[in-house]
Amino acid sequence: MAAPVNNIAATFATVPVTSSSSSSSSNPHQTKFSVSTSHKSISTSWNLHKPLPRSQTTSPFSLYGPPGPPPISTVHPRTRMITKPNKPTLSVSIGDKIPNVTLSYLNRNDIVKSVTLSSLCKAKKVVFVGVTAPFSPNCTRFVKRVKSARQKGADLIACVAVSDVFVMRAWGESLAVDERVMMLSDGLGELTRTLGASLNPTSKDYLGLSVRSRRFFLAAFNGVITSVEFDEEQAEDTLVSTK
């Protein structure tokens, strides 16, 4: 039975069948198609380690076409993504009146006192040294600035940090400052925010600290700002350096 079936299949595979829509004797519900077959030999000697001929390989050009026109901008994409951070600037400038905020300190009798900046700067040349973290290894820079301010003839030097009065008092004692140096507490960060000197509290360098101030140097005479600047080296180190 298998032999007749194979003969029938071979007959239909080799006999061409033509269709004619103009034949009046053909059934209108039947459509005839012409079938053509080609016999190609299949090679069984393919070598896995032998590269295919060029005619049987594909390239990106054959799949996607030739390269398109060059981009309008010739700047490398990586270069466009890397942007230098803007240099920080304080919210106040030379000639402005110093913000009249209230700061706190601990006197010799261990009593918490408050003082406004307007009364502190009245008829005096006051230098404010803003620091980030009391007792940090960078406190030696504060000492250098205190000495520099003394040489410029400041009547009063005020060290300000977003910390409590007890920490500021203890830090002042460790630095052996005299009465001309006040260790002021900006506990709520009011002065820091007013000056625009607050650091980003979400930074990974915060080490669990709360709002902190950038290191800044501000001089005022009779309540008018005469010079103000940020510590330019702060952008190169972490909030609390371990060096």
Catalytic residues, which ones? Answer: 139
**What b/e string do you get for 176-196 counting C-beta neighbours within 10 Å, with b at 16 or more?**
ebeeebbbbbbeebebbbbbe
- Name the amino acid, one letter, at 85: P
CA distances from 67 to 55, 59, 60, 63 (A): 22, 13, 10, 11
First to last CA, the chain: 94
One-character DSSP codes across 77-124: HHHHH--PPPPP--S--TTSBPP--EEEEE-TTS-EEEEEHHHHSTTS
Helix (H) or strand (E) holding 85: none
What span, in angstroms and rounded, lies between the C-alpha atoms of 237 and 243?
A: 9
Task: Give the separation between CA 129 and CA 185, rounded to whole angstroms.
Answer: 12
Instruction: Name every residue whose Cβ is closer than 8 Å to that of residue 67 and which is 6 or more positions away in sequence.
Output: none
What three-state secondary structure class fits 149?
Answer: helix
Report the residue count for the chain: 243
Question: Which token pair is 6?
Answer: 């194979």
Name residue, tokens 């001929």.
53
